[in-house]
Structure 1
Amino acid sequence: MAFNLEDFGVTPVGMDAVRPFAVEGLDVRGRAVALGPVVGDILARHAYPKPVSRLLAEAIVLTSLLGTSLKFEGRFTLQTQTDGPVSMLVVDFSSPDAIRACATFDADKLAALPKDQVTPENLLGRGHLAMTIDQGKHMNRYQGLVELDGISMEEVARRYFARSEQIPTEVRLAVGELFTRQEGDGPAQTWIAGGVLIQFLPDAPERMKQPDLDPGDAPEGTVLHSLDEDDAWVEAKTLVETVKDVELTDPEVGVERLLFRLFHERGVRLFEPQPIADKCSCSREKVEGILTTFSDEERANMIVDGKISVTCEFCSTRYEFDPE
């Protein structure tokens, strides 16, 4: 569909920004994001194997979509702990715009996976994913857990909202590689990622009712509870399910053009974009403060070549201290 967004009074935000939106005709609210330099810089800094980079990029997209929904100064952290080749993912978002991320993986387990089984589900394995909201001093922290049993990062979001918030939710995440030509050096590779999340939020709460979750251990022959979904939600969810990976990772498409393609018949309202920045909260002062909590003996065991060196797992910044 060829059209100019400017004709509709919309200025594309480009990369590294979350665009909130609403489709009032379907009682749907959502957020869409396209990440370029942010996700590319984070992954380049760590130089993970490609499957690990892809999985971490998905987690960064999901955290961007969820973290920017905070209505207060705080932090949103997504963390996995599993028995898979990628045993831990940590993505930390600090409002209003700072995100950082890292992963822990087992190179031997990763190499042992057959190529046709290198999927996000198999990389994660079994364990749990925690989503933590920290509202700052003097406020309670909130944490929701999702069991990981061979599910995708998209399914994680669906289960989280179904169980913790009882909000019908649909999400699409995609990660791609972007190749650019550099004179004399050949093509250069970087990462690009995107996602869209919608939620059904009608004025009448009874319209949000969902079927009970499959208990998993019901006796054979048990008829599970079924419930017809609201027509508006079925339409919205079906539209989002048509989104292709390339639409989420093509810089020429953009989130505004994608949202227009999905919802122009119903009408989509776009809200002010929320930028995302590659920022780490570490500092020399914070690291020094942590070191002072160790005993003299413990600090003595940290000395290598006459110095105590600490490297931030998120941004790879190296801090060196005189043992004295």
Structure 2
Amino acid sequence: MTDDDLLPRDDTGFDRVLAFSVPARSVRGRMVRLGPVLETVLSAHDYPRVVKHVLAEALVLTALMGSLLKEEHAQLTFQAQAEGGAVDLLVCDYRNGEVRGYLRHDSAKVGALEENCSLETIFGKGYLAITFDLPTTKERYQGVVPLEGDSLAHACENYFAQSEQVPTLIRIAVRSNGPRCSAGGMLLQHLPDGEEGRARLHAQEQHPDWEHAAIIAGTVQDGELVDPVLSLEQLVWRLFHEESEVRVEPLLPLQRGCRCTVEHYLSVLSGFPEDQLADMRDDDGTIPVDCAFCSKILRVPA
């Protein structure tokens, strides 16, 4: 019997985000565990095992970072583009607890990949772009870093160090069990003066509070991140139970959030001139739109 068999699929620690903080150490964090939502996203395409794990890791990272957004309807987009490798495009986004993702790959090159290969082997040379869209102020922030390191998690740590100057530790685990796939992750950050304003000016990798918290968090095991019987609250307590105070807050439950509706595409197509729309229409008067995220073709009467 596997851990997945111990609890019903709708009564596990899957598809959850937990916010936590350790005030005495001036750190905040997120815990994420994906199960059925991850399987739904991955089922849209017949992904080989290696790239399936890459997309699963990216979806966990997207949920971890996206859940840091406080503004309603704000969106985080996680995009990797590269050339020379087996994968040339990966796109995920998060908005209001909804995640979606897509990966484009070369089947022949993927067939030559081995398990646990490096980012450079998978992607070749490329970059990772993290974009924050804030609808209230209509502002957009983007940070771009090279696709370097052993994993996407390492690339994201580099993003936070270079673009936001925030010491960050990220741990991701992906587990496949036949057709089933689950994944979990933890993000920990040092914010010694709080989360607002000039808080990040004094964040230091060598700060003793950060060093202590990072060492403790770094002991988390892959099995703990994906174990549905171990709640996210229990995992945070297991790591930081010696601290004087640990605060936790469950956030929005996660769900697959593809926005491929006729209404959505009508709004997108409304910005095109009539001559371009005429070129797109089929003989029946509709425009076929292929959604890469969910592998559906919608016929839009535009």
Flag whether TM exceeds 0.5 (same fold): yes
Amino acid at match of 1:92: D
Amino acid at match of 2:295: S
> How far is 1:285 from its partner?
2.6
Residue 85 of structure 2 is aligned to residue 89 of structure 1: no
Q: Which residue of 2 aligns with 1:102?
A: 102
Residue 260 of structure 2 is aligned to residue 256 of structure 1: no
Amino acid at match of 1:314: F
Amino acid at match of 2:99: I
Separation in structure 1 between the aligned mates of residue 58 and residue 87 of structure 2, nearest angstrom: 12
Q: Which residue of 1 aligns with 2:65?
A: 66
Amino acid at match of 1:93: Y
Amino acid at match of 1:253: L
TM-score, normalised to structure 2's length? Answer: 0.84
Residue 204 of structure 2 is aligned to residue 209 of structure 1: yes
Q: Unpaired runs of 5+ in structure 1?
A: 1-11, 180-188, 211-228
Amino acid at match of 2:292: E
Partner SS for 1:275: coil
Separation in structure 1 between the aligned mates of residue 67 and residue 200 of structure 2, nearest angstrom: 24
Q: Which residue of 1 aligns with 2:298?
A: 319
Q: Unpaired runs of 5+ in structure 2?
A: 1-10, 194-198
> How far is 1:290 from its partner?
4.2
* 234 and 117 in structure 1: CA distance in 2 versus 1, 3 angstrom threshold: closer
> How far is 1:296 from its partner?
4.2
Q: Is the 8 A contact 1:76 1:134 kept in 2?
A: yes
TM-score, normalised to structure 1's length? Answer: 0.79
Q: Is the 8 A contact 2:13 2:230 kept in 1?
A: no
* 163 and 49 in structure 1: CA distance in 2 versus 1, 3 angstrom threshold: same
Q: Which 4+ residue blocks in structure 1 deviate beyond 6 angstroms?
A: 304-307
* 309 and 246 in structure 1: CA distance in 2 versus 1, 3 angstrom threshold: same
Separation in structure 2 between the aligned mates of residue 294 and residue 118 of structure 1, nearest angstrom: 46
* 107 and 299 in structure 1: CA distance in 2 versus 1, 3 angstrom threshold: farther
Separation in structure 2 between the aligned mates of residue 297 and residue 18 of structure 1, nearest angstrom: 43
Separation in structure 1 between the aligned mates of residue 46 and residue 59 of structure 2, nearest angstrom: 16
**Which moves more between the two structures, 232-241 or 198-207?**
198-207
> How far is 1:300 from its partner?
4.1
Q: Is the 8 A contact 1:291 1:299 kept in 2?
A: no
Amino acid at match of 1:129: L
How is 1:1-324 mapped onto 2 (pairs within 5 angstroms)?
14-72=13-71, 73-83=73-83, 84-94=85-95, 96-113=96-113, 115=114, 118-136=117-135, 139-179=138-178, 189-203=179-193, 208-210=203-205, 229-266=206-243, 267-291=245-269, 293=272, 296=275, 299-300=278-279, 303=282, 308-321=287-300
> How far is 1:141 from its partner?
0.9
Q: Is the 8 A contact 1:16 1:276 kept in 2?
A: yes
Question: What is the root-mean-square deviation in Å for CA atoms of aligned residues?
Answer: 2.5
* 287 and 177 in structure 1: CA distance in 2 versus 1, 3 angstrom threshold: same
Deviation string, structure 1 residues 41-62 (Cα, Å, up to 9, x no partner): 1001222111111101111101
Separation in structure 1 between the aligned mates of residue 82 and residue 295 of structure 2, nearest angstrom: 23
Q: Is the 8 A contact 1:175 1:194 kept in 2?
A: yes
Q: Which residue of 1 aligns with 2:7?
A: none
**Which moves more between the two structures, 142-151 or 39-48?**
142-151
* 59 and 297 in structure 1: CA distance in 2 versus 1, 3 angstrom threshold: closer
> How far is 1:299 from its partner?
4.4
* 85 and 295 in structure 1: CA distance in 2 versus 1, 3 angstrom threshold: farther
Q: Is the 8 A contact 2:171 2:185 kept in 1?
A: yes
Deviation string, structure 1 residues 116-145 (Cα, Å, up to 9, x no partner): 664445212221111111112652211111
Bigger radius of gyration: 1
